[in-house]
Amino acid sequence: MIREKARKEAGEEVGTAAGEEVLAVRRETAVRWVTEEWDAPAPARLREQMSAELAPRYAPVEHRRVRAPQPAAEEIVVTWVAYADEVPVATASLRRLPDRHEVKRVFVHAEHRGRGLARAALAAVESTALGLGVDRLWLQTGALQPEARALYAREGWEEVRPYAPYDRNPFSICFTKVLIQPAETPRSR
C-alpha cells in the first residue's frame, strides 16, 4: 500500500490486472503556450468543448439562467492557447471592456487537468494585463463550477458581488484580483 501511494505521488498509475500489479508511468507531454486570435479554430474548439462539458451541469436550471452576451472578437486583447503534441489543450483570454478588463473562458481539456495548466493560463493573462498597465482584473464563473471557484480562490482572486451584465444571472459568481507589478531587482554595478 505504501509503495502504491509513493508511485501515485510520483505520477505513476497503479492498478491490477489478473491479480498482478500493473504499473504505467504517466508521461507529461511538454506544453507550448502561444497567442491566437479569439475566433481562431483552436481556441474556438476548446470553448465549444467547455460549453459541451458544462451544459449537463446547468441543464436542470437552464430556464432560470440569464446569459450575458458573448465577447466580440474586437474586445479580446489576447487569447492564450496551450498545445501538447500540437493538440490544443487549454485556453484563456483577456477581454477589454470600457470600464474593466476581464478574464474569459479559462478551460483545460479533461485529459490534461491536474498539470497546472489552468493556473498557467491565468498567469499568462495576468502577465499580459500587467504589460498593458492593467491593475485589476475581473472574471465571472458559475455557481455549479466548484473547481473553478476553488482555483480562483487559490490564485488570490477575491469573490465579489456579481457585476453587470452577470448580476441578472442567479448562478453567476464573480471575482476580482488586484495585479501587482513585480518588484524590480537592483542592478549590480
Compute the distance between CA of residue 72 and CA of residue 86 in angstroms, rounded to an integer.
Answer: 27
Contact 140, 189 (CB under 8 A): no
Looking at residue 15, what is its pLDDT? 40
Looking at residue 16, what is its pLDDT? 37
- Beta-sheet strand order (sheet of 136-142): 31-36, 76-84, 87-96, 101-108, 136-142, 172-178, 158-160
At residue 65, what is the residue type? R
Q: Name the pLDDT band for 68 (thresholds 50, 70, 90).
A: confident
Q: Name the pLDDT band for 185 (thresholds 50, 70, 90).
A: low
Residue 117 C-alpha cell reads as 495548466
Residue 51 C-alpha cell reads as 460549453
Looking at residue 29, what is its pLDDT? 81
Percent of the chain whose predicted confidence (pLDDT) is above 70? 82
Mean pLDDT of 170-176: 96
pLDDT in tens, 16-48: 344 343 333 345 789 999 999 999 999 999 999
Mean pLDDT of 127-144: 97
Looking at residue 66, what is its pLDDT? 79
At residue 146, what is the residue type? P
